Protein backbone atom coordinates (compact mmCIF):
# COMPACT_ATOMS: atom_id res chain seq x y z
CA UNK A 1 0.00 0.00 0.00
CA UNK A 2 1.00 3.64 -0.16
CA UNK A 3 0.63 5.99 2.81
CA UNK A 4 1.06 9.75 3.03
CA UNK A 5 3.16 11.70 5.52
CA UNK A 6 0.48 11.38 8.21
CA UNK A 7 0.29 7.58 7.65
CA UNK A 8 -3.12 7.81 5.98
CA UNK A 9 -3.64 5.03 3.43
CA UNK A 10 -3.83 6.62 -0.03
CA UNK A 11 -3.48 3.54 -2.26
CA UNK A 12 -4.24 -0.13 -1.64
CA UNK A 13 -6.55 -2.88 -2.84
CA UNK A 14 -9.52 -0.59 -2.22
CA UNK A 15 -10.08 -1.16 1.49
CA UNK A 16 -9.40 1.70 3.87
CA UNK A 17 -8.33 4.25 1.27
CA UNK A 18 -8.42 7.76 2.78
CA UNK A 19 -10.35 6.51 5.80
CA UNK A 20 -7.70 4.55 7.73
CA UNK A 21 -4.31 5.39 9.15
CA UNK A 22 -1.52 2.91 9.60
CA UNK A 23 0.19 3.00 12.96
CA UNK A 24 3.92 3.59 12.59
CA UNK A 25 6.71 2.15 14.68
CA UNK A 26 9.31 3.26 12.15
CA UNK A 27 10.88 5.92 14.33
CA UNK A 28 13.32 8.04 12.31
CA UNK A 29 14.14 5.25 9.85
CA UNK A 30 13.34 5.72 6.16
CA UNK A 31 13.15 1.97 5.52
CA UNK A 32 12.98 -1.28 7.43
CA UNK A 33 10.43 -3.42 9.17
CA UNK A 34 8.82 -3.94 12.54
CA UNK A 35 6.64 -6.54 14.16
CA UNK A 36 3.46 -5.59 15.96
CA UNK A 37 2.33 -7.42 19.09
CA UNK A 38 -0.41 -9.14 17.09
CA UNK A 39 2.14 -11.02 15.00
CA UNK A 40 1.68 -8.66 12.06
CA UNK A 41 4.88 -7.78 10.18
CA UNK A 42 5.13 -4.35 8.56
CA UNK A 43 7.84 -3.50 6.00
CA UNK A 44 8.23 0.06 4.73
CA UNK A 45 10.34 2.33 2.56
CA UNK A 46 10.00 6.08 2.23
CA UNK A 47 9.70 7.54 -1.26
CA UNK A 48 13.03 9.12 -2.14
CA UNK A 49 13.60 12.80 -2.65
CA UNK A 50 14.69 13.99 -6.04
CA UNK A 51 17.58 16.45 -6.18
CA UNK A 52 16.24 19.57 -4.42
CA UNK A 53 12.61 18.34 -4.31
CA UNK A 54 11.85 17.18 -0.74
CA UNK A 55 9.02 14.89 -1.74
CA UNK A 56 5.67 14.49 -0.04
CA UNK A 57 6.66 12.09 2.72
CA UNK A 58 4.92 9.14 1.11
CA UNK A 59 5.91 5.62 2.06
CA UNK A 60 5.44 2.22 0.43
CA UNK A 61 4.24 -0.39 2.94
CA UNK A 62 3.79 -4.16 2.88
CA UNK A 63 1.79 -5.75 5.70
CA UNK A 64 1.83 -9.48 6.42
CA UNK A 65 -0.69 -10.74 8.93
CA UNK A 66 0.67 -13.46 11.15
pLDDT > 90 fraction of the chain, expressed in percent and rounded: 21
Across the chain, mean pLDDT equals: 84
What's the pLDDT score for residue 55? 82
Q: DSSP 3-state assignment of 49?
A: coil
What's the pLDDT score for residue 16? 65
Q: How many CB atoms lie within 10 A of CB 59?
A: 20
Distances from the Cα of 17 to the Cαs of 3, 12, 29, 44, 48, in angstroms?
Answer: 9, 7, 24, 17, 22
Arithmetic mean of pLDDT, 20-45:
84
Give the pTM: 0.76
pLDDT class for 39, splitting at 50, 70, 90?
A: confident
Report whether 11 contacts 50 (CB < 8 A): no
Report whether 44 contacts 28 (CB < 8 A): no
Amino acid sequence: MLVDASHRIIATDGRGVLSERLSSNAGDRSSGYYSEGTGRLVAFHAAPRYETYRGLGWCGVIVQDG
